[in-house]
Amino acid sequence: MKRIMITGALGQIGTELVLKCREIYGTENVLATDIREPEADSPIKEGPFEILDVTDIERMKEIVSEFKPDAMMHMAALLSATAEKNPQLAWNINMGGLVNALETAREYDLQFFTPSSIGAFGPTTPKKDTPALTIQRPTSMYGVNKVSGELLCEYYHTKFGVDTRSVRFPGLISYVKEPGGGTTDYAVEIYFEAVRKGEYTSFIDKGTYMDMMFMDDAIDAIIKLMEAPEDELKHRCAFNLSGMSFEPEEIAASIQKHIPDFKLSYDVDPVRQGIADSWPDAIDTSCSRDEWGFAPKYDLDKMTEAMLNGVREKEAAAQK
C-alpha cells in the first residue's frame, strides 16, 4: 500500500486507522472520507478529507479518480444494535455501500479491505473455539450483512481478481472514539463510567462471554493483513480475530484492581442480549496467526490499565 482511501473515517475504527496509516504512509497519502465534516479540533483535519456518502457511487469514483489511491479501506457501516432498529436502512448502507466500494475497487484496480465481525456467526455456530470455516446462520440484520459481505468480497476476488481482504473483528475497545450502536459497547462504556462515577449498569447480562480486542491490536492487524503477501492467504475474507474473551463480572474484577470500590449492576437490554447470545463465546484465531502473523499484545488486564489511563487523560483534558 502506498496511497490509501478510507471510508467511514470518523467512525470508531476509522478515526484511529486514519491516524496510524498517516504515520506509516505519510499524511498526504491517506485520504479520509465520511458522510459528515470532522469536528473543528479533529486531528483528521490535518490531512486530506472529503465528504462522501458511500451510497453515492458516482461521487466515490470521482474521489478515487482524483486522489488515485492504490488501496481502499471501506469502514462505513451501521453497527449491530442500530442495524436491528432499522434493518432496511442497514441493508442500504451496509450492503449498498459495500457493493459500491467493491465496484470502485474493481474499476480502479484497488487493493481492498473491509471488516466483517463475530456478528457473522449465529446461534447454530459452535460456541467455543469457533473455526474460521464453520456454520454461519446469523439472526441479526447486521449478521446477515456481514456474512453477505464476506461472500461478496470472495466473489469479487474469484470473479474479477480484486485483491479483497477481510477479518472478523470482535468487540473493539478504545478510549479515543466511543462506539455507537454496538452490542459489545458495554465493554467500552464500563471504563468511562468507572472513571466518571465509580459504577456502571450493564445492558449485557452476567455470564455472557464475547470476544473482544484493544483497538491498537485491531489497527495493527488491518495493516499487517494488507501488507501480507497475497499467495500466503488461504482464508482471504474469513479471518477470525480476537484478543480475549470475557463476561461482565471479569471486566469488573479487572477494573477493581485499580478502583477497588467500583460497582457493577445490571439492567439487561433484551435486543442487545439476544444478539450477544447468538454470537460465539470465544473464536479460534489460529488461521490469522498462521497465515499472516496476527499477534495481539493486549490481554484483559493490560487493556484495563491502558483504558483507565486513557479515559482519565481524556476527562482531564475535557475539564481544562
Provide the annotated active-site residues. 142
One of 113, 156, 169, 294 touching ligand SER (CB under 6 A): 169
Establish if 119 lies at the interface with ligand SER (CB under 6 A).
yes
Tell me the C-alpha distance between 67 and 61, whole Å: 10
Establish if 237 lies at the interface with ligand SER (CB under 6 A).
no
Establish if 145 lies at the interface with ligand SER (CB under 6 A).
no
For residue 83, the minimal CB distance to ligand SER (Å) is 8
Establish if 117 lies at the interface with ligand SER (CB under 6 A).
yes
Nearest to 144 by CA among 88, 217, 221, 228: 88
Tell me the C-alpha distance between 116 and 197, whole Å: 34
DSSP 120-189: G--TTS-SEEE-SSS-----SHHHHHHHHHHHHHHHHHHHH---EE-EEE-EEE-SSS---S-STTHHHH
For residue 175, the minimal CB distance to ligand SER (Å) is 15
For residue 307, the minimal CB distance to ligand SER (Å) is 16
Establish if 114 lies at the interface with ligand SER (CB under 6 A).
no
Binding segment toward ligand SER, per CB under 6 A, in 85-93, 102-110, 179-187, 188-196:
179-187
Establish if 254 lies at the interface with ligand SER (CB under 6 A).
no
One of 14, 69, 182, 280 touching ligand SER (CB under 6 A): 182
Helices (H), the chain: 14-25, 57-67, 80-85, 87-90, 96-108, 141-160, 186-196, 215-227, 248-256, 270-278, 286-292, 300-319
Tell me the C-alpha distance between 104 and 7, whole Å: 12
Binding segment toward ligand SER, per CB under 6 A, in 36-44, 65-73, 116-124, 192-200:
116-124
Interface residues with ligand SER (CB under 6 A) are 79-80, 117-119, 142, 169, 171, 182-184
